[in-house]
Chains A and B, each alone.
Chain A
Amino acid sequence: MVDASTRQKLFGTPETNFLNCSKGWKSWAFTLDHKRIGIMYLIGVTVALFLAGVFALVLRSHLFTFDSKMLSDDMYNQMFTLHGAVMVFSFIIPSIPAALGNIVLPMMLGAKDVAFPRMNLASFYLWIIGTGCLLAAILSGKGLDTGWTFYTPYSIDTNTGVIYATFGAFILGFSSIFTGLNFLVTVNTMRAKNQGWFKLPLFVWSLYATAIIQVLATPVLGITLLMLIAEKTLHIGIFDPKYGGDPVLFQHFFWFYSHPAVYIMILPAMGVISELISVYSQKRIFGYSFIAFSSVAIALLGFLVWGHHMFTSGQSLVVTLIFSAITFTVAIPSAVKVFNWLATLYKGSILLNTPMCYALSFIFLFGIGGLTGLFLGALSTDIHLHDTYFVVAHFHFVMVGGTLTALLGGVFHWWPKIWGRMYNDFLGRVGCFLVFSGFNLTFFPQFVMGSRGMPRRYASYDPEFQIFHQLSTVGAFVLGLGILLSFVVLVYSALRGPRCSSNPFRAASLEWQSSSPPDFHNFIHTPVLTDPYDFESQVYDEELDTYIPREFANPAKVAPRKEPVHN
């Protein structure tokens, strides 16, 4: 039993919070607070997104006509390489785990911070150094033209800044390992009292699965890139055929990391979607344990399919068949998730606000991205589709249609929690519409031209493909506009938006029991452990205009539960 003044104290808007508890640049640069580090990461990945986005728009503009002279062929090669490398290593991989996850994960566990706050800060600074090295390839005037995959032997022979870029990716790998290791330990040792594994929000499960991949796969990339640097400087003869080395070995090593890395990119996004779908349907997530274990299954299967990037590189037929078969099995846990989300929506009271619009876009786009993956996993069609725009469209549907969409949805979902201010929902939905339609306009035509034989990474093309390229270019600008609009909406709301309460959406996971913005120590009180998908555990409080845990509410004003407590 709590009186109104205590309720005000626990769930009202506090005077001090993690944003204003200390001031000055040093309080940010040397902070060990996971929320501030998360915000710095969010700013960092946004810069990377804009940079790589500009590269993308430049190369899409170049492709507007089939005989364009806007970029030289060399410049074109450098442009798509930098677009890919910055997007993958500096943006997508850290985006959801290191930015959103950092802010939300400890709070979902009712913890004060991650297990190793100093390592968390080190991870951010390694991210800055790594991204700096990646960009040093441009600033040194050499550029980078290997594609983001650094395939040997070309990467050994080219005179562009491969060493800067690979060293940058090596450092970024350590940044990613630090985040993953931190999350694994945090989830294992810092859960709230009595918070068992099956009372964790699914976002935590997906971050945990992601962290497993980060810890197991990234070191292999590290040693591979070091060997590539040694090959390029000392000519050790491991990858270089001139000295008896095996260039295909590099592809094996590279994809042993980089295929699991695909799941580093998509699993956290799936976790975000599980949260959004459930909260904005106000309905218990359907098949909790199936979604949770499918994350782990995807993480583990992800280690066994790297060879499907190399169907045409020369590997034995038996191995190829096995890789193809295992590739198909990844579709099962992915489909389990999609069906469970759809079942959660069924008969839910759906609120079509901005985050939910992004979540629904995700399901649609990820569905297409995932299903076209099966075309590429099938041996015979892959021979035809390999290295065409079909592949480009496929992985953009998963990476952009999946991860970027989920990132935007997640940012909108947790934005009021982070800043204590509400965004303009109408403009947010307009942004979502632009992103969704622009995205489809960009990449759907690429499926068509890819299946008709338009190869990827070419600076010029047959005139018959021009109409598809033009649609694609227009779409890219619409997509860019949508992202820009969302950015403006978010920044404006963080500075000027109307104040919002601690739990405006009636979410039940623990982070919503903190004030908005949260206290420096996350919670003023020890949060009451609730099932993250039992929305009836939260009841409306008129005085505060927010949802608070049933235990804190005035019993006279609380309606009884409609359904019994699950345990």
Chain B
Amino acid sequence: MAVADSHDTHDDHHDLYDHGEFIAHHFDSAEQQFDSGKLGIWLFLVTEILFFSGLFVAYTLYRTNHPEVFEQAHVFLNKYLGGLNTIVLLFSSLTMALGVRAAQLGRNKNCSIYILITMVCATMFLGVKAVEYSHKWDMGILVRSAFNLTYTHPTPTTEIGKALHISDYLVYLCVVPALLLAGFLVASVISKLIDKGTLAKFMIAMAITVSGYFLGVCIGIIFMNATEGETGSTHASVIAEQPLMLMASTQDDHAEDDHDDGHDHDDHDKAAADSNHEGEHADHEEHFGAHPADGGEASFDAHHPDPSTLSRDVGIFFSIYYCMTGLHAIHIIAGIIALAWLYWRSLLGHWRTDYFGPVDYVGLYWHLVDLIWIYLFPLLYLID
């Protein structure tokens, strides 16, 4: 019997492609293909969690060993912006789940709409993140080696920055999205002209997706102004009166420490580090003289601590913050690319009740990216 079977399969094996439009030749059935893909994506998610795990371990260790760094540092993160992003991502998870459902039912049009909303949420998230990042870079809140908190917001030098009163960094962060937006708009017009209905639709959707970024930037600025306003108004006025707030004694000590260390290490980094610190010295001497020690005054509330009271390692918190949120943002971007591919295939009407695997898999990935943010938000923003 085995022999008879074998002959049958032998004769079959040249028409392998007949057993389904989207079944790869090496699978016997749609079910086997779906199960393989599903197991594959779950394993991939395991690797993703382990990929982030290194950063979570670093976070845990430094928080255990230096709790004061985390207490002092988290106040610089705006929990309203973080909360807004949490809501945006949670909502995108909902639309993603609805998209998966639509694909399972073979409703390609609904699926494409849900996927488009998911993509817009994703870019909005990035827009808000850009506002947060640029605000911090303005204040000198950078990774450990470059951390140099000043509270000053340098005057924008770019034309757009001047016109809109936004940070130069934010302008830079908008360059690539702006180019993409222009590119997609042009592409949609061209594809409309050469009468590629589906392609034009796709390009317009991509343009809408990218404009989500600018929506995010706008909402982010509004939120930022509204929430930093209460403390920020005093903060702003303080800054207006006292440009460059005091490089204080701890920072000074630390600069000297680094000079001492510097002698032992003869590498090229030393030059950069030293010149950096020399800059700090110059600032310090210049302004310290002009404004004798009145840094501890009442206008510096818990949300705007005096830099002199901060631990010298407070920058490590932001090293971890930038690594974690940056890696997360890269995953969001990868997710958008995957979602765009799904959107394209929805337009082509590929999903059927017996074939919807890719939507399911990308959906799982998207939920994971969302879930990681659900952990990052309280760990970074909501420490108390």
Chain B residues with CB under 8 A of A226: 327
Q: Taking the complex as formed, is B47 at the interface, i.e. its CB lies under 8 A from any CB of chain A?
A: yes
Q: Please determine whether B36 and A115 come into contact, CB atoms closer than 8 angstroms.
A: yes
Whether A485 is near chain B, meaning CB under 8 Å from some CB there, is no
Chain B 313-333 per-residue mask, 1 if CB under 8 angstroms from chain A, else 0? 101100110110001000000
- Residues A117 and B3 in contact in the complex (CB < 8 Å), given A190-B32, A227-B58: no
Chain A residues in 8 Å Cβ range of B319: 230, 234, 236-238
Please tell me which one of the listed residues A182, A215, A216, A235 contacts residue B269 in the complex, with CB atoms under 8 A apart. Answer: A235
Contact of B146 among A159, A219, A230, A234 (CB under 8 A): A234
Across the interface, do B35 and A189 meet the contact criterion of CB distance under 8 Å?
Answer: yes
- Say whether A219 contacts B316, CB under 8 Å: no
Decide if A234 touches B46 in the complex (CB within 8 Å): no
Bound-state CA distance A497–B109 (Å) is: 60
Whether B101 is near chain A, meaning CB under 8 Å from some CB there, is no
B143:A224 contact, CB within 8 angstroms: no
A236 to B10, alpha carbons, bound, how many Å? 61
Closest beta carbon of chain A to B133's beta carbon, Å: 14
> B55-70 vs A: 1/0 string, CB under 8 Å?
1011001100010000
State whether the Cβ of A243 lies closer than 8 Å to any Cβ in chain B. yes
Residues of chain A from 141 to 182 with CB closer than 8 A to chain B in the complex: 157-159, 177, 181-182
Does B165 lie at the interface of the complex (its beta carbon under 8 Å from any beta carbon of A)?
no
Contact A243/B46 with A116-B40, A157-B267 known, Cβ cut-off 8 Å = no
Give CA–CA (A219, B6) in the complex, Å. Answer: 42
B275 CB to nearest A CB, Å: 14
Is A249 in the interface zone, CB < 8 Å from B?
yes
Contact of A2 with B by CB under 8 A = yes
A111 touches B320 (CB 8 A): no
Q: What's the nearest-Cβ distance from chain B to residue A308, in Å?
A: 19
Contact (Cβ within 8 A) A159 B44: no
Complex Cα–Cα for A218 and B54 (A): 11
Judge whether A216 and B46 touch: CB under 8 Å: yes
Give min CB distance, A298 to chain B, whole Å.
Answer: 19
What mask results when residues 1 to 25 of chain B are scored 1 for a CB within 8 Å of chain A, else 0?
0110111011001000000000011
A393 close to chain B: CB less than 8 A = no
A525 near B7 with CB under 8 A, answer yes
Q: Is A112 an interface residue (CB 8 A)?
A: yes
Per the bound structure, the CA–CA distance linking A528 and B7 in Å amounts to 12
Within 8 Å of chain B (Cβ to Cβ): is A455? no
Q: Chain B residues with Cβ under 8 A from A245's Cβ? A: 144, 316
Q: Is the CB of B36 within 8 A of A190?
A: yes
Q: How far is the CB of A281 from chain B (nearest CB, A)?
A: 28
Question: Is the CB–CB distance between A185 and B40 below 8 Å?
Answer: yes
A188 touches B39 (CB 8 A): yes
Q: Is B258 an interface residue (CB 8 A)?
A: yes
Contacts of B273 in A (CB 8 A): 235
Contact across chains for A238 and B258 when beta carbons are under 8 A apart: no
With an 8 A cutoff between CB atoms, is A551 at the interface?
yes
By beta carbon, the residue of chain A nearest B55 is A223
How near does chain B come to A309, taking the closest CB pair, in angstroms? 17
Say whether A234 contacts B145, CB under 8 Å.
Answer: yes
The prevalent SS among residues of B at the interface is helix
The answer to whether residues A236 and B26 also contact, given A528-B2, A551-B3 and a CB cut-off of 8 A, is no
B53 CB within 8 Å of chain A: yes
Contact of A237 with B50 in the complex, beta carbons under 8 Å: no
Asked if residues A181 and B43 are in contact (CB atoms below 8 Å), the reply is yes
Question: What is the CA–CA distance of A157 and B266 in the complex, to the nearest angstrom?
Answer: 9
- Cross-chain contact A220 with B25 (CB below 8 angstroms): no
Q: In the complex, A485 Cα to B269 Cα: how many Å?
A: 49
Check A223–B52 contact: CB distance below 8 A: yes
Task: Decide if A223 touches B54 in the complex (CB within 8 Å).
Answer: yes
Q: Mark A299-319, 1 if CB is under 8 A from B, else 0.
A: 000000000000000000000
Q: Judge whether B145 and A525 touch: CB under 8 Å.
A: no
Interface check A562, CB cutoff 8 A: no
State the CA gap A43–B52 with chains docked (Å).
34
The verdict on B341 contacting chain A, using a C-beta distance below 8 Å, is no
State the Cβ distance, A481 to closest chain B Cβ, in Å: 41
Among candidates A243, A249, A551, residue contacting B145 with C-beta atoms closer than 8 Å: A243
Interface residue? A122 (CB, 8 A): no
Q: Say whether B48 faces chain A, with CB atoms less than 8 Å apart.
A: yes
Chain A 198-230 interface mask (CB, 8 Å, partner B; 1/0): 000000000000000001111110111011001
Decide: B50 and A219 in contact? CB cutoff 8 A. yes
| Residues of B close to A236: CB separation below 8 A | 143-145, 316, 319-320, 322-323
Contact, CB under 8 Å: B3 / A552: yes
Interface centre among A2, A6, A113, A235 (most CB of B within 10 A): A235
Chain A residue nearest in CB terms to B319: A236
| Cross-chain contact B144 with A235 (CB below 8 angstroms) | yes
Q: Is the CB of A219 within 8 A of B48?
A: yes
Whether B144 and A115, one on each chain, are in contact in the complex, defined by CB atoms closer than 8 angstroms, is no
Give the shortest distance, in Å, between B42 (CB) and chain A (any CB): 9
Task: Tell me whether A557 is interfacial, beta carbon within 8 Å.
Answer: no
Q: Are A177 and B316 in contact, CB atoms less than 8 angstroms apart? A: no
B51 within 8 A of A: yes
Q: CB-CB contacts of A246-278 with B at 8 A, as 1s and 0s? A: 100100010000000000000000000000000
Find B46's partner among A114, A157, A215, A253 (CB 8 Å cutoff): A215
- Is the CB of A196 closer than 8 A to any CB of chain B? no
Q: Which of A157, A224, A525 contacts B9 (CB 8 A)?
A: A525
B58 touches A177 (CB 8 A): no
- Closest approach, in angstroms, between the C-beta of B77 and any C-beta of chain A? 17
**Distance in angstroms between the alpha carbons of A190 and B374 in the assembled complex:** 36
* Minimum C-beta distance from A324 to chain B (A): 22
B322 — which chain A residues lie within 8 A by C-beta? 236
Asked whether any CB of chain B lies closer than 8 Å to the CB of A432, the reply is no
B10 touches A525 (CB 8 A): yes
- Say which residue of B36, B43, B315 sits within 8 Å of A237 (CB atoms): B315
A526 within 8 A of B: yes
- Residues of B near A117 (CB, < 8 A) are 24, 26
Residues of the A chain whose Cβ atoms lie less than 8 Å from the Cβ of B107: none
Which B residues lie within 8 Å of A182 (CB)? 40
A253 CA / B10 CA spacing, docked (Å): 51
Nearest Cβ distance between residue A438 and chain B, in whole angstroms?
39
B36 — which chain A residues lie within 8 A by C-beta?
Answer: 115-116, 185-186, 188-190
Across the interface, do B26 and A111 meet the contact criterion of CB distance under 8 Å? yes
- Alpha-carbon gap, A116 to B40, bound state (A): 9
* Interface residue B312 (Cβ < 8 Å from any Cβ of A): yes
Which residues in B have their C-beta under 8 angstroms from that of A524? Answer: 10
Asked if B51 and A223 make an inter-chain contact with CB atoms under 8 angstroms apart, the answer reads yes
24 A-B interface contacts by CB (under 8 A): A115-B40, A116-B36, A116-B40, A181-B44, A184-B39, A184-B43, A185-B40, A185-B43, A218-B47, A219-B48, A220-B53, A227-B54, A230-B323, A234-B146, A235-B143, A236-B320, A237-B319, A238-B58, A238-B316, A242-B261, A244-B312, A245-B316, A253-B57, A526-B6
The 3 closest A-B pairs by CB, nearest first: A237-B144, A235-B145, A223-B54
Q: A111-B26, A159-B267, A237-B316 are in contact. List 12 more A-B contacts (CB 8 A).
A: A113-B25, A115-B36, A215-B43, A220-B54, A235-B273, A237-B319, A242-B258, A243-B145, A244-B144, A244-B313, A245-B144, A253-B57
